[in-house]
Structures are given as structure tokens and as C-alpha cells.
């Protein structure tokens, strides 16, 4: 009998961004330090909003006085933050009970940890390409993985196939890496499917705040979703909390399987393995999600949106097929060749770094992800170089 979890040996050796970093470093040595611009990693660049910093300072001062000091907080999160999140949902006509909301240290942890409440060996349906965490956590758990193919023909938005049966379905909208967003009718089809086959949807809404048009931000905007879906959200991309760490998970009271409420299982899991998010951080999260704070985070989101527009316009001018950017910080472009070959060519000729689509799954082969998470100056300079890159390719073709 094996002592270690052998499933770990089934994981891809190199984590995508480690491989990108390795190749960039190698290029730096080879080229004796040409200035490289990264539109690669999905990390924010704007600082924390002022309201969050003020809340952190005030909360830190509270922690330093005996009368207002706080030790262990509730595992599920402080009431003040759960109430603020419930209000955030109610503005979209989604009514949630406070006990349906769980504060987390980010969406990634909970997306992985949620598998604790499901049996080992279940079948998970995962979009391809998508955020790699869904696949890797299912491999670690020894689950069976099947894929829902996202491609140009379906606008990178796979739809349910009733001949396929899964226990758990991952949906990511707006999608990382393609930037595609489901509309209400499409989400309705997924909810109908999940209800009819008895599957549970794990809905990742980490980028909901980037939606500019009239599209659903939450799966609970769809009737019946509370009987079949868990939702994960995060302050990371919305409010620049990637290093501050806070998110939330919604497990509706109505969600049951085999007569057992999943809310109760998740509460039990959290109380056993998690001791909550720092008070100081929860105060910062409350500041950005309440009233005036939302205006501050939207200023940053508009900034990224401006970057995305510059990138999209550059690709359009060069005649490069591309998607996303409008309702997400990601632009997904067609390389016309292998994703890693394109990575090397763009790095060599333009000194611009992006992320090979193939790193997000087989379906990402031949595509490439650029992010709007950069400064305006770097975005403009990268786009100037991309324009030159395509101009030289196009003139080579004409010759
Ligand atoms: C960044 C990201 C997350 C969450 O990140 P946390 O920092 O852990 O909250 C979740 N899902 C997707 C698709 C992401 O890109």
C-alpha cells in the first residue's frame, strides 16, 4: 500500500507560470537584458483603494488597544462583512441569508477545499481551456475528469450535453483565460441541466465586477440555481486584494444531496480546518464593497478596461482574431501557430510576454492570453511593439 498520495504524480510537472518565468529569465541572459514587458501573469497592478487602506489602519489601531482587541473570529467570517456581501447581492435582486455566506482567504483556497465535502472518485466536468486550479485539485483528489470543449464555434462558452453525466460542473464566467461571459439564457440551460441530472455547479465569479454589459454577475440571478450551485467570489481582481487575501463562498441552504444540506457540511469543514480571515482584512473588504468603496474599485477596473481597449484595438488593426477584453481583463488571441512557439516569437521579436493558451488545457492550443493588468505606459509600449511585430510578419508575407 502506498503512503503518499500518488495522485500528485499525475500532475503536470511544471506549473504554467513557473515555465513562463523560466523562459523569460533564459531570454534575459541570452539577450543581455533587453527590456521585457509582461502582459502575462494574472495579477493586478493598481494599489489598494484608499478606503481599504484607511480601514486597515483603523482596524490595526483597534487591535492594539485592550478594549477593542480581537482574538479568534468566527470561522464563517464576521457578521459585518457577511451583511455587506448580502447587500451587494440584493442590489442584483439576489436575496441571500447571512448563513449562506462564508468568508474565505480567497477563491482559490475554497475552490480546492470544496472537494472535501464530496466523495473521492466523483466525475467532474471542467471547461477546456480554463483556470488550471479546477483540474489540478481534481487530479489530487483522484477524481475522474471529463471536459467541456470551449472553442471558436461556441464562442468559448461550452453548453450542456445531456448525453454526458457529471457529479460536479465547473463554470467560470467571465472566463479566465478566454474572457467569454455566459448570458442569462446560457446559464439557465446549465442550471436546467444540473437540476435534471442531479449535478452540482461550482460557479467561479472572480471576475464578475469586470462585466460592463447586461450579463449575469451571479449564478443566483438564474431561478433554481440555489438548488444546484455553489458560488465562489473574490476581492482579488475586483479590489486589488491578491496580496491582502479575502473572498467568499455561497452555499445555499436549499442545496441538498442525498437528503443532506451541503451548507452544513461546508460549515463543519470550515470550523474544523479553517480559523477565519484576519479581522483587519475583513474590515478592508467591507470598506470596498460598501457604498462609496465600490466607486473606488470601479475607478481601478475602468483603468484596466482602458488597457484592454488599447490591446484589442492593436490586434484589430493588425487583423488578428481575438476575443474577450470587454467584460474581463483578458484578451484571447489566435496565434496561427503553436502557443509556445508564438510565446518565443513574441518574446524574441517584441520583448513582450504573454501566456500560452495551451497552458490552460488542450483546447487552448493555438491561442494566447494577454492581460490588461499592467500600467498604461507598459500597455501602450507593448502594443507599439506588437504592432511592429505584425507589420514585419505582414510585409514578409507580401514579399
Ligand atoms: C485569480 C482567480 C481566482 C482567485 O484568486 P484568489 O486570489 O485566490 O481569490 C479564482 N478564479 C479565477 C478564475 C482566477 O483567475
DSSP string spanning 103-167?
Answer: EES-HHHHHHHGGGGS-TT-EEEEEES--THHHHHHHHTT-EEEEEE--GGGTT-----TT---S
Cα 381 to averaged position of ligand 1 atoms, centre (Å)? 27
- Residue 60 CA to residue 244 CA, distance in Å, equals 14
Ligand 1 centroid from CA 3, angstroms: 31
HSE (CB half, 13 Å, CA atoms) of 362? Answer: 5
Q: Which numbered atom of ligand 1 lies nearest the CA of 237? A: 1
Q: pLDDT above 70 covers what percent of the chain?
A: 99
Task: Spell 101-136 as b/e; 16+ CB within 10 A means b.
Answer: bbbbbbbbbbbbbbbebbeeebbbbbbbbbbbbbbb
* For the CA of 235, the nearest atom of ligand 1: 9
How close is the Cα of 388 to the center of ligand 1, in Å?
33
- The side-by-side arrangement of strands in the sheet containing 229-234 is 101-104, 247-250, 229-234, 200-204, 168-172, 123-128, 144-149
Residue 68 has pLDDT above 60, yes or no: yes
Model pLDDT, residue 395? 80
Q: Give the SS3 label for residue 229.
A: strand
35: pLDDT strictly greater than 60: yes
Higher pLDDT, 350 or 291: 350
What is residue 396's predicted lDDT score, i.e. its pLDDT? 74
> What residue ranges line ligand 1, CB within 6 angstroms?
42, 106-108, 131, 172, 176, 204, 206, 234, 236-237, 242, 247
By the 8 A CB rule, do 191 and 220 touch? no
Nearest of 246, 222, 242, 215 to residue 232 by alpha carbon = 246
The average pLDDT across 112-122 equals 97
The protein residue with its alpha carbon nearest to ligand 1, atom 2, reads 206
To test the ligand 1 pocket, which listed residue (131, 171, 249, 372) has its Cβ within 8 A of the most ligand atoms?
Answer: 131
156 alpha carbon – ligand 1 mean position (Å): 19
Closest C-alpha residue for ligand 1 atom 12? 206
Locate cell 505584425: which residue? Answer: 390
> Which residue(s) pair with 38 in the sheet?
353
Cβ atoms of 175 and 150 within 8 Å: the answer is: yes
Residue with CA nearest ligand 1 atom 11: 206
For the cut 80, the answer to whether the pLDDT of residue 73 exceeds it is: yes
d(CA 336, CA 334): 6
What are the pLDDT digits (tens) for 220-236? 999 999 999 999 999 99
Question: pLDDT at residue 399 above 60?
Answer: no
Alpha carbon of 120 to ligand 1 centroid (Å): 24
Rounded to the nearest angstrom, the distance between the alpha carbon of 236 and the centre of ligand 1 is: 7
What pLDDT is recorded for position 398?
63
User: Taking the C-alpha atoms of 65, 66, 68 and 69 in order, what is their torsion angle to the nearest 10 degrees?
Assistant: 90
Determine the distance separating the centroid of ligand 1 and the alpha carbon of 39, expressed in angstroms.
Answer: 17
8 Å CB contact between 62 and 386? no
Average pLDDT, the chain: 96
Amino acid at each position: 500500500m502506498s503512503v503518499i498520495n500518488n495522485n500528485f504524480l499525475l500532475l503536470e510537472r511544471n506549473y504554467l507560470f513557473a515555465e513562463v518565468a523560466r523562459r523569460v529569465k533564459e531570454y534575459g541572459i541570452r539577450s543581455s537584458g533587453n527590456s521585457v514587458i509582461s502582459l502575462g501573469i494574472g495579477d493586478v497592478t493598481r494599489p489598494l483603494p484608499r478606503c481599504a487602506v484607511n480601514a486597515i489602519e483603523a482596524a490595526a489601531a483597534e487591535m492594539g488597544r485592550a478594549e477593542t482587541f480581537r482574538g479568534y473570529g468566527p470561522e464563517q467570517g464576521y457578521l459585518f462583512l457577511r451583511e455587506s456581501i448580502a447587500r451587494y447581492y440584493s442590489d442584483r435582486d439576489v436575496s441571500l441569508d447571512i448563513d449562506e455566506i462564508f468568508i474565505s482567504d480567497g477563491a482559490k483556497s475554497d475552490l480546492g477545499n470544496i472537494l472535501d465535502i464530496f466523495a473521492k472518485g466523483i466525475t467532474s466536468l471542467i471547461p477546456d481551456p480554463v483556470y488550471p486550479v479546477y483540474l489540478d485539485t481534481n487530479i489530487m483528489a483522484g477524481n475522474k475528469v471529463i471536459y467541456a470543449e470551449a472553442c471558436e464555434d461556441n464562442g468559448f462558452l461550452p453548453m450542456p450535453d445531456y448525453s454526458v453525466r457529471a457529479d460536479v460542473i465547473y463554470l467560470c464566467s467571465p472566463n479566465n483565460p478566454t474572457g467569454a461571459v455566459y448570458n442569462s439564457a446560457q446559464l439557465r440551460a446549465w442550471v436546467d441541466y444540473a437540476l435534471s441530472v442531479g449535478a452540482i455547479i461550482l460557479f467561479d465569479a472572480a471576475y464578475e465586477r469586470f462585466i460592463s454589459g447586461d450579463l449575469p454577475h451571479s449564478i443566483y440571478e438564474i431561478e433554481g440555481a440555489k438548488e444546484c450551485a455553489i458560488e465562489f467570489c473574490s476581492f482579488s481582481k475586483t479590489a486589488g486584494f491578491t496580496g491582502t487575501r479575502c473572498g467568499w463562498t455561497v452555499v445555499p441552504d436549499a442545496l441538498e444531496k442525498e437528503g443532506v444540506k451541503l451548507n452544513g457540511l461546508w460549515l463543519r469543514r470550515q470550523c474544523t480546518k479553517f480559523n477565519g480571515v484576519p479581522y483587519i482584512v475583513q474590515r478592508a473588504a467591507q470598506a470596498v464593497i460598501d457604498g462609496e468603496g465600490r466607486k473606488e474599485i470601479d475607478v481601478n477596473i475602468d483603468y484596466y478596461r482602458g488597457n484592454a481597449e488599447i490591446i484589442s484595438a492593436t490586434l484589430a488593426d493588425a487583423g488578428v482574431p481575438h476575443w474577450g477584453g470587454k467584460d474581463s481583463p483578458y484578451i484571447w488571441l489566435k496565434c496561427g501557430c503553436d502557443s509556445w512557439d508564438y510565446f518565443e516569437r513574441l518574446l524574441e521579436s517584441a520583448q513582450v510576454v504573454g501566456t500560452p493558451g495551451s497552458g490552460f488545457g488542450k483546447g487552448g492550443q493555438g491561442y494566447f492570453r494577454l492581460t490588461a493588468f499592467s500600467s498604461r505606459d507598459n500597455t501602450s509600449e507593448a502594443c507599439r511593439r506588437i504592432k511592429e511585430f505584425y507589420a514585419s510578419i505582414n510585409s514578409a508575407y507580401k514579399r
